[in-house]
Amino acid sequence: MKTLKIVLLFAFTFVILPKLYSQNINWESLQKNQKHIAHFNGHWEYALGFGAAYGYQLNSKTPVVLNASFSKPAGEKVLDDFKTRIGAQFRIMKINTFQVTASVQAIYRRYQNPLVRIQNFGSELGLNVGYFRPRFFIAGEFGFDKAILTNFKHAESFKTNFDPDVRDGWYQPSTGGNFNYGIVSGYSFGQSDITFKIGMVLSQDLKTTPFVPFYAQLGYNFRFGGK
């Protein structure tokens, strides 16, 4: 039981690491010939962090953007803590200036401290509902980030001070998940978008929150053409 409580504590800490939610796109300013979207951001989500992403717009009747991203908290060691995602964003519905868009992402992330190294595979689902114009958009953002399969590698100091019988390896089923909800907006000009979002994080039990329960992000998109 002691081992289980410690593992779950680390798992919860890992799940609330800084997250880079779906790349913010103004679907009304995105042109058909703008196949590529480069994205950069600074964010606060439990800790100060930075992120970058690349999106590719498919030739489809309904707008679909495939994307890959990388984010990490600020720190000296680049590859101690980070999160990568790959997936797609697409528009579900459009009625005049009102639009509903969704995103589906697969996630790999890593966290390490002096006691344990944790690796995780998970998924993320997102939904944006709001008002989109060529120069401006504002929408409500809703998402769920689920940790599905997690690997623990405990340091000798953990085994010495806490539990000598702790088990390394893969833990399954899921070690946790978080809901997020907030507001995202942006201003578009030329081939660029400046975006901002702010919101809250709530654990999947709908009762607990991280120590710092809010997130914020300032981002920049550059949209450019291609064949």
Q: How far apart are CA 225 and CA 208, in angstroms?
A: 44
Q: How far apart are CA 183 and CA 24, in angstroms?
A: 11
Q: How far apart are CA 101 and CA 107, in angstroms?
A: 20
Q: Which helix (H) or strand (E) holds 16?
A: none
**pLDDT score recorded for residue 192:** 97
Tens of pLDDT along the chain (227 residues)? 444 444 444 444 444 444 445 568 999 999 999 999 999 999 987 778 899 999 999 999 899 999 999 998 876 565 668 889 999 999 999 999 999 999 999 999 988 888 888 898 999 999 999 999 999 999 999 999 988 888 989 888 888 888 888 888 887 766 678 899 999 999 999 999 999 999 999 888 887 877 778 899 999 999 998 65
Report pTM.
0.84
**pLDDT score recorded for residue 194:** 97
Confirm if 20 and 51 have CB atoms less than 8 A apart.
yes
SS3 3: helix
End-to-end CA distance of the chain: 58
Domains, the chain: 2-224 (2.40.160.20)
Q: What is the dihedral angle through the alpha carbons of 180, 181, 185, 191, rounded to the nearest 10 degrees?
A: 30
- In eight-state DSSP terms, residue 52 is E
